[in-house]
Amino acid sequence: MGIHFVKANGDEVIAELTIAAQHHQAYGIVHGGVYSGMIETIASVGAALWAQRHSQTVVGLENQTSFLLAVREGKLRATATPLMRGRRTQVWVAKVLDDAGRTVADGKVRLISLDAGASLAGEAVKLKPKQP
């Protein structure tokens, strides 16, 4: 998708994406899936990094994304911060801004915590994701 991480830790994740033709839907504005995808990515990375501190990992449950402003070109900058980080689940919120600093999308991701060794899609969960 072309996401570049600017910052990534368990308290905040920032990533950027330069809009290209592949990010457009049929009317030439950025596809909603790009915003949902950016938000899912940065929220998951933040939640996973925080969970590692507690010997857990996370897997996404729900993604809710609101599209606020149609954008055609430029650079998108997305920031995710935790709303709630618990032992059972985490909730992260994220905003995507355009070049002019306008909020163009806003989302929320809920993730469930898994202990090392929990079963996920037929394999035991490992605690070390690949670094973003």
Question: What does the binding site for its own copies look like in residue numbers (CB under 8 A)?
Answer: 1, 25-29, 31-34, 36-41, 44-45, 48, 57, 59-72, 83-84, 88-89, 91, 93, 103, 106, 108-110, 112, 120-123, 125-126, 129-130, 132
- 16 in the Ramachandran plot: left (φ > 0), alpha (ψ -120 to 50) or beta? beta
Q: Provide the minimum distance between the beta carbon of 18 and its own copies in the complex, in angstroms, as a whole number.
A: 17
Nearer to its own copies, 53 or 130 (CB): 130
Q: Provide the minimum distance between the beta carbon of 42 and its own copies in the complex, in angstroms, as a whole number.
A: 10
Count CB atoms within 10 A of the CB of residue 109: 27
DSSP state of 24: B
Q: Provide the minimum distance between the beta carbon of 29 and its own copies in the complex, in angstroms, as a whole number.
A: 5
- Over its C-alpha atoms, the chain yields an Rg (Å, rounded) of 15
SS3 13: strand
> 16, 40, 73, 123: which one is catalytic?
40
Note if 16 is an active site residue. no
* Cα gap 84→78, rounded to integer Å: 19
* Cα gap 32→28, rounded to integer Å: 12
Give the active site residues.
Answer: 40
